[in-house]
Structure 1
């Protein structure tokens, strides 16, 4: 197991990429030169992402429904430009004005659940809504690098 023996996903549905709280990518090599793991996520040290942040769960669910109705229900990936429109409309983060663009950030910069979900969401995929200390989020992973 990991450093602590407590499960991090206590009875909740898994967020993006099942088991986001205890994914192997965040513990399997950290800042190593990293090859690819079985799930293709590898052990990257940087991720490029967009997000939507809302204080209320009902608002993030509304934003997610908009993404579902447009793309996710059909199994499609949300195009970054379309995700940016949803972020501009719904996000309460200052990044919302930039389509939710957070740019590239290293492992260790973002807190707990946000980092776990960002680094475990496959490139081009959108996470399910999840809660962090800042509110409720949806993440679109746009890239990874070492």
Structure 2
């Protein structure tokens, strides 16, 4: 599995913020390792992530999508169910994956570039990221799983 520095589909280059929503904090992206060599929080060492995302060209549109998630779940501290995230992605996402509920499937570290990869690998399983910017537009990510 060599690293592919070119982004595909939802990969992104550029600067952006990767803060988590729904009670997450930047402390959640700690990469401290225990005796097993794995990060104590499981975020820093995984090789693959399974994720859904919403991509919008305009910040106003991604904010609308995020507000819909916020009103339904995040403001109550709940996690957004994947099926509900998929409905919002189908409605708002401008990425071809939007037709599949934003499903990106499993992807390895190195496939997605820049802030997209950073946020995807830093968002805890079941959590939804806050909107962030890449060169492709504005994204929201729902982390569905991780594995080595």
The TM-score, its normalising length taken from structure 2, stands at 0.78
> Cα distance 1:69–1:45, how it changes in 2: closer, same or farther (>3 A)?
same
For 2:120, which of 104, 109, 118 is the aligned residue? 118
CA contact (8 A) 2:44 2:122 kept: no
Distance 2:85 2:109 in 1: 23
Which residue is 1:133 aligned to?
Answer: 135
For 1:85, which of 66, 87, 95 is the aligned residue? 87
Distance 1:14 1:41 in 2: 14
Which residue is 2:19 aligned to?
Answer: 15
Tell me the SS of whatever aligns to 2:26. Answer: coil
Q: How does 1:11-50 map to 2 (within 5 A)?
A: 15-16=19-20, 17-18=25-26, 25=31, 34-35=37-38, 37-50=39-52
Gap runs ≥5 in structure 2:
1-14
Pick 1 or 2: higher relative contact order, CA cutoff 8 A, min separation 6: 2
Distance 2:17 2:128 in 1: 16
> Cα distance 1:45–1:121, how it changes in 2: closer, same or farther (>3 A)?
same
What is the count of residue pairs matched by the alignment?
128
Gap runs ≥5 in structure 1:
1-9
Q: How does 1:38-117 map to 2 (within 5 A)?
A: 38-117=40-119
1:18, distance to aligned residue in structure 2 (A): 2.2
Runs of 4+ with deviation above 3 angstroms: none
